[in-house]
Amino acid sequence: MKMISFHTPELPEPLGLDLAKLRGGGSCPSQFYGETHEGLDVYVRYRGGTLRVHVANEPGDDALRDGDCILEADIGPPFDGSMSLTQFCTNFGVTVDGIVPDETDPHAHRYANLTGQMTFWKANLSQITIETARKIVGKAWSVFPNALLVKPVTNEKFKLERLELTTPERIDTLSVWLIDGPSLLTDIETSPEDYVLPSKDQLQISISFSSWQYPAPKYTSQQREAEKELERKFYVPGEKNMPKDIELATDGISLSACFPKEDQTTKNALTRLGEAIAQLLPLTSLERIDLATGDPIDVIKRPIDPVILDWCNSGEDRWVAIIREKRHSPWIGVRPATS
């Protein structure tokens, strides 16, 4: 999957299915259980942006195990898995005793718009330093200069008390929103549980990066195991329990937004943002080394945070990553290529 991408799913033809019973919902995945008027079992699952509908062939059969998949469609953003029963019925041509059930899911207002009329944009970037994460937010703000950059202020139970304006340099929360459209904080609709609520008149870019709030390195990879087997020391960005003068915190940063699919202006702006982010993470030649022998394996090219490159080049035994591709295979060190 690309680091930065647009996704515009199209709805399939309506199923035209009337059921005698239907219940369910939930998230990650959403699952629905029903029965046709002929007594056939029905099972529906929505996960990872994909909807599957199974119907049994005979009364008493299990729809998933014994039936047929009558619909498999890519209808939402990647990694999405939340849908209400009413959403399912409305968008995919399903009724219960001839009617679409009323909405009763208290969380339905925060589920993705699955009408086929939206484009979803997402950027998922791994091994990003705090410094570069702030630059990414700065780039986003430069593309949408009239937007409000807001952070949540919560109570001890993590319920939202209010939103506050912030800047890239001052972010100290897990998530922030860059919201284009409102001129005042009071124009942004919120709730204690969901924080920022969707609004059709606003472009809301959600940005998440945990190291803003928890800056200490927090990960443990295969590095320690490699050190024991090879009897030497390795330093990798993002690893916890390294010397304070060497440690470098990294984390994944995620940006996401959705907008009407006919809105070419917003798509063009987000395309520019993607290009600006790519410039912050230049494609870099990395050499892979067999750590037991010191022999080079190959050279690969990957987008890398330049802060990590500088860190790797500033001391001995510093690596972008220490990996083992499968059990008992050689330990491989990844570092900036020397030539």
121-139 mean pLDDT: 97
Confidence of residue 2 (pLDDT cuts 50, 70, 90): low
Q: Hey, where are the domains in the chain?
A: 7-110, 118-216+248-280
* 208 within 8 A of 227, measured Cβ to Cβ: no
pLDDT over threshold 80, residue 335: yes
* 118 within 8 A of 258, measured Cβ to Cβ: yes
Report the alpha-carbon distance of residue 240 to residue 135 in Å, rounded.
24
Helix (H, G, I), strand (E, B) or coil at 175: strand
273-300 mean pLDDT: 96
Q: CA 92 → CA 11, 14, 86, distances in Å?
A: 8, 5, 10
Q: What is the pLDDT of residues 13-48, one digit of tens each?
A: 999 999 999 999 989 999 999 999 999 999 999 999
Residues 6+ apart with CB under 8 A from 172: 151, 212, 213
Q: What is the pLDDT of residues 184-227, one digit of tens each?
A: 999 999 999 989 999 989 999 999 999 999 998 888 777 888 99
Q: What is the DSSP letter of 239?
A: B
Confidence of residue 1 (pLDDT cuts 50, 70, 90): very low
Q: How many residues does the chain have?
A: 339
Q: What is the pLDDT of residues 5-20, one digit of tens each?
A: 999 999 999 999 999 9
283: β partners? 303
Report the alpha-carbon distance of residue 130 to residue 126 in Å, rounded.
12
Q: What is the pTM of this model?
A: 0.90
Q: What is the pLDDT of residues 147-193, one digit of tens each?
A: 999 999 999 999 999 999 999 999 999 999 999 999 999 999 999 99
